[in-house]
Amino acid sequence: MLKVFWFRKDLRLEDNAGLREFINSVTDKDEILFLYIKNKNKYHYYGEKRINFLYESLNELKNDLREKGFDLLITEGKSPEVFKKLKKENPAIEVFANEQVEPYSIERDKEVKEIIPSFQLFIDNTIFPLGKIRTDEGNFYSVFTPFKKKFLLLLKGECAKQNCSLDKLENTKQFKSSSLKEFSIPETKDEIFKGGRKEAVRLLNIFCKEKMTAYKEQRDFPGEYGTSLLSPHIHFGAIGFREVFRAAQHKADKEAKSEIEKINIDSWISELIWREFYYNITFHKPHIITKSFKPEFDKLKWEWNDELFKKWCEGKTGYPIVDAGMRQLNETGWMHNRLRMITAMFLTKDLFMDWRLGEKYFAEKLIDLDFSSNNGGWQWSASTGCDAQPYFRIFNPVLQSKKFDTDGSYIKKYVPELKDVDAKYIHEPWEFETELKEKYNITLGKNYPFPVVNHFEIKDRVISEFKRIQQKKFE
């Protein structure tokens, strides 16, 4: 029998549920193959930085396997075609992988299952099987807090480590495919975010040691680096979700020195549960891939302005905090959560443009692009999602800026035109045209843009459009 372990969003050899089952299933008579398929899927957007990160993670996985005497076949193509070829070479084939939730992944897995009926999937990407956390009446949760309560209530041994030592496979024959071409990974660029398990473990250790116990107090300040920066690694599975969850539980149970430290750690645990919540939303309501979670809001008359959208994308809106966020995204492939909310709110409310445009732009740029969290975050900001920000609570970008980047250090880092500007002018430069000109030789409209919209003028229009839809719903 040919036994294949198919790596997908689980690029690691440690604590990997599917890999463990695969190892346990192998007998002396089997041949084995470790496989990764570089797939081009119509819904996948692969920004350059994300690809780079993926390549680094794959390179490290390949090396880790090589050190233990195994090969990783990386091949390019459509998964069903790859498995057809493998089955032709060896009709007695079994395939093991970990579950994914996105509707297009489910579709792909169905196709593979038709080709390889023995294809088995395991729970690794979430703590609970999707759909398990339900209300007492058996319904799914569309509100986060009760979901979290039920999650914590049910949590027992789900985070236990899944040992997967490869020693057992030491003498197993490795299958060499004659029909699948090896994809050679191009040289990677030196980016700010580095892929691979070593980096993921390093970041988790630093976060546990230095930041987790102050997370709640610091997580909203983009200049503070108070978050874990683990999202790209969690997404590609270089570090497992159980692993990070266990680390937080260990810290809370064994190392927290005070109630305040515990509250901070719990706040990180909550964020991890948000991920699981959004995965469940995708599982129960896959229509969100193209539509609003609340269908009535697909009747909103969004606006479209090519030039304004381009300014938002490039970080040239004239609102320094928005521009800093978008430039961080463009430069690094990552954006701080507070900024994701501010920039998404700005596009969907201040510019009143369809959340799907922003979702797609983030998808093209983010290294950590994760369908469920991205869609969840966008629909939260646009007020079209489950447990979303109410449509009448529109972030004021200036107040957000003053509150979360008080000294302007984050803005100065990503908007170099304003790097010398004093904090008292930096959040709303249009109010200080004279000072900017006299003190820093900055002319608005020349060195830095005037604001593209007046935040106070847009608010009523947005609220009345949302109200119109809501009234229609009840008519």
Ligand X SMILES: Cc1cc2nc3c(=O)[nH]c(=O)nc-3n(C[C@H](O)[C@H](O)[C@H](O)COP(=O)(O)OP(=O)(O)OC[C@H]3O[C@@H](n4cnc5c(N)ncnc54)[C@H](O)[C@@H]3O)c2cc1C
Looking at beta carbons only, is 277 or 432 nearer to ligand X? 277
Q: How far is the CB of 363 from ligand X (least distance, A)?
A: 7
Residue with the shortest CB distance to ligand X: 377
User: Which pair of tokens denotes residue 8?
Assistant: 């997908």
Looking at beta carbons only, is 55 or 278 nearer to ligand X? 278
264 is catalytic: no
Looking at beta carbons only, is 20 or 275 nearer to ligand X? 275
Q: Exactly one of 274, 312, 334, 380 is catalytic; name it.
A: 274
Dihedrals φ, ψ of 244, to 5°? -70, -35
CA diameter of the chain: 81
Looking at beta carbons only, is 26 or 369 nearer to ligand X? 369
Q: How far is the CB of 368 from ligand X (least distance, A)?
A: 4
Check residue 219 for interaction with ligand X (CB under 6 A): yes
Check residue 385 for interaction with ligand X (CB under 6 A): no
Which string of x and - marks every residue 328-357 that binds ligand X (by CB under 6 A)? ---------x--xx--x-------------
90 is catalytic: no
User: Which pair of tokens denotes residue 213?
Assistant: 């116990």
359 Cβ neighbours under 8 A, 6+ residues apart:
374, 375, 378
Query: Under rule CB under 6 A, which residues in 41-60 are in contact with ligand X?
Result: none
Check residue 74 for interaction with ligand X (CB under 6 A): no
Could you please report the per-residue DSSP string of 71-124?
Answer: -EEEEES-HHHHHHHHHHH-SSEEEEEE---SHHHHHHHHHHHHH-TT-EEE--
CA 380, distance to chain mean position in Å, is 15
Q: Exactly one of 312, 334, 355, 380 is catalytic; name it.
A: 355
Kindly tell me which residue out of 377, 397, 449, 451 binds ligand X, with binding defined by CB under 6 A.
377
The CA distance from 297 to 472, in Å, is: 11
The CA distance from 271 to 58, in Å, is: 27
125 is catalytic: no
Q: How many CB atoms lie within 10 A of CB 214?
A: 16
380 is catalytic: no
CA dihedral 382, 232, 329, 303 (to 10 degrees): -20
271 is catalytic: yes
Which string of x and - marks every residue 266-305 that binds ligand X (by CB under 6 A)? -----xx-xx--x---------------------------
199 Cβ neighbours under 8 A, 6+ residues apart:
233, 238
What H or E segment, with its residue span, contains residue 216? Answer: helix 215-218
The CA distance from 258 to 329, in Å, is: 36
β-pairing, 72-76 vs 93-98, is unpaired
Q: How far is the CB of 335 from ligand X (least distance, A)?
A: 7
Looking at beta carbons only, is 177 or 280 nearer to ligand X? 280
Q: How far is the CB of 377 from ligand X (least distance, A)?
A: 2
Check residue 109 for interaction with ligand X (CB under 6 A): no
Active-site amino acid positions: 271, 274, 302, 337, 355, 378
Q: Which residues bind ligand X (CB under 6 A)?
A: 219, 227-231, 234-235, 271-272, 274-275, 278, 337, 340-341, 344, 362, 366, 368-370, 373-374, 376-378, 381
